[in-house]
Amino acid sequence: MKKICVAIALALAIPGLAAGNDVIDKAAKEKGAVKTASGLVYIPVKEGSGDSPKASSVVGVNYRGTLPNGKVFDSSYESKMIPTFPLSGVIPCWTEGVQMMKVGGKAKLVCPPDLAYGSRGAGRDIPPNSTLIFEVELLNIQ
C-alpha cells in the first residue's frame, strides 16, 4: 500500500510522469517493439543491412524528436547537412538505442525521462521529466 501511495504522490508531484509511463507502455506493445532493461523502447521501422555502431562510435543520422503530444522539438530533415554525433556524447537513450540499429536502418526510440533530460529538461522546448520520441535513420558510422 505504501508503494502505491508513493507512486501516486510522485505522479501528482511530477507533471507528465504518469502520462510518460502510458506512452512507454503503449509503445512497448507496438509490433516488433523491444523494451530494454533500462526502460528504452526500441521499435524497428526499417531494418538496415550494414554494421551496428558501438558506444564509442561517431554516427551520421537523420532524426526527428517529438514530445508525446506530437510537438516537434528538433529535426534534422530540413537541413542539407547530415548531423554527426559521438554516441558517447548524447542522451543515454540515443547511446543505447542507436547501437541497436544497422546502417541504412530506421527506428523509433521512446525514451523515458531518466534516459533523456530528466528533471532538468532542455531549454524551453523540453519540459522537465519528459518522455521523448525520436525517429532515427542511421546513415553512416564514421
Report DSSP letters for 48-105, one per residue: --SPPP-TT-EEEEEEEEE-TTS-EEEESTT-SS--EEEGGGS-HHHHHHHTT--TT-
- 85 catalytic? Reply is no
Q: How far apart are CA 137 and CA 66, in angstroms?
A: 15
- 91 catalytic? Reply is yes
CATH topology of domain 39-141: Chitinase A; domain 3 (3.10.50)
Please report the pLDDT score of residue 20 as a whole number. 60
Three cell numbers written together for 51: 554494421
Please report the pLDDT score of residue 50 as a whole number. 84
User: Hey, how many other C-beta atoms are within 10 angstroms of the C-beta on 77?
Assistant: 10
- Residue from 117, 126, 133, 141 carrying the catalytic annotation: 117
Positions in the chain short of pLDDT 70: 1-20
Please report the pLDDT score of residue 111 as a whole number. 98
Residue ranges of the domains in the chain?
Answer: 39-141
Please report the pLDDT score of residue 27 as a whole number. 96
Nearest alpha carbon to residue 129 among 139, 114, 142: 114
- 73 catalytic? Reply is yes
- Residue from 91, 126, 133, 141 carrying the catalytic annotation: 91
- Residue from 24, 42, 126, 134 carrying the catalytic annotation: 134
* Residue 56, burial from CB neighbour count under 10 angstroms (0-12, 13-18, 19+): exposed
- 63 catalytic? Reply is yes
C-alpha atoms less than 13 angstroms from C-alpha of 21 in its C-beta half-sphere: 8
pTM: 0.85
- Residue from 63, 126, 133, 141 carrying the catalytic annotation: 63
Distances (CA, A) of 48 to 35, 74, 110, 114, 120: 20, 23, 19, 28, 34
User: Hey, how many other C-beta atoms are within 10 angstroms of the C-beta on 90?
Assistant: 14
Which residue reads 507528465 in cell numbers? 16
